[in-house]
Amino acid sequence: MVSADIDESAPVYGAHMAGAGDTAAHGRKPLISLDGVSRHYEIGGGIVKALDAIDLEVGAGEFVVILGASGSGKTTLLNVIGALDVPTAGRIEIGGNEVTGASRRELFALRRHEIGFIFQSFNLFPGLTALENVEFGADVAGRGDARAAAGRVLEQVGLADRARHFPHELSGGEQQRVAIARALAAGNPIVLADEPTGELDFETGVQILELLHDVTHTSGTAVLVVTHNREIARVADRIVELSSGRIVSDEANVPAAMSDLRW
Ligand SMILES: Nc1ncnc2c1ncn2[C@@H]1O[C@H](COP(=O)(O)OP(=O)(O)O)[C@@H](O)[C@H]1O
Ligand SMILES: [Mg+2]
């Protein structure tokens, strides 16, 4: 079991599976690759297998919905991919680089330069305007042209005319669009969204997923979206279903039109 470690230079992943270069014999490496990834918790003498031997590959420009009931391991899966949590076993590669054995400082750099996060409750800064919230996302990732990038991305999500509005002046769907813009403005190759439609009505939720779907294809970003809503998942072009910490299906999907969805 790996313990939390505050020595920033110390490896936080077990280095037990070191050995790079053994997967590149043919073809390009996927952007995200998980090989036998587990996250177990020891609780009161028992073991909770939040993730149990997950194998998953996601390429650039893929829009993947992670579907599963509450407690199935969806958040844990996003957290280990996003370097917010450390697996207890297995191996993760991001952009062809092995993350196994990375120090806390290296994980920090990974979050900053590879990942964008979108949350269920938007998590915008209430005292910043829409534009400033998005600019913050670009700035944290170290983009020199943060203000210009923010303006462009806000336009991309259809909110150019709301740039000077504060979060409390926006609807839930608009706030989530700002949060999407903030994640995209970082210009990072991976966007992770944990139940981004959880606080929205069904129709707005579908619009948010359709927006994420569109930006995935135009930007080449890999987007992983978690939901427990099977109808909303039908908007995806790939659905990975989790149950009790295991992948029980991983299928291509023909995205359903809004009018075909039932709520
Ligand atoms: N810090 C923790 N300690 C113990 N068990 C946890 C912890 N975090 C999550 N779990 C357990 O792991 C399982 C998966 O949780 P989670 O990934 O949050 O599921 P989901 O996001 O699909 O609802 C659940 O059984 C949950 O209770
Ligand atoms: Mg969750």
In a domain, 77, yes or no: yes
Tell me which residue range forms the domain holding 250.
Answer: 59-86+103-255
Q: What is the C-alpha to C-alpha distance for residues 167 and 149, in angstroms, rounded to an integer?
A: 19
Whether 262 is covered by a domain: the verdict is no
CA of 73, closest atom in ligand 1: 17
Reported pTM: 0.88
Whether ligand 1 lies within 6 angstroms of the CB of 87 is answered as: no
Please name which of 15, 187, 194 lies closest in space to residue 99, comparing C-alpha atoms: 15
CB of residue 71 inside a 6 A radius of ligand 1: yes
What pLDDT, on the 0 to 100 scale, is given for residue 263?
67
Domains in the chain: how many in total? 1
pLDDT of residue 100: 84
Q: pLDDT for 140-192, tens place per residue?
A: 998 889 999 999 999 999 999 999 999 999 999 999 999 999 999 999 999 99
CATH number of the domain to which 125 belongs: 3.40.50.300
pLDDT of residue 6: 52
pLDDT value of position 9: 55
Q: Is residue 67 part of a domain?
A: yes
Cβ–ligand 1 distance for 234 under 6 Å, the answer no
Q: Which two tokens stand for residue 5?
A: 């470690």
Please tell me whether residue 4 adopts helix, strand or coil conformation: coil
Task: Count Cβ atoms below 10 Å from residue 257 Cβ, excluding itself.
Answer: 10
Nearest-angstrom CA–CA distance, 261 and 104: 43
Ligand 1 neighbourhood includes 198 CB (under 6 angstroms): no
- Across the chain, mean pLDDT equals 88
Ligand 1 centre and the CA of 19: distance in Å?
30
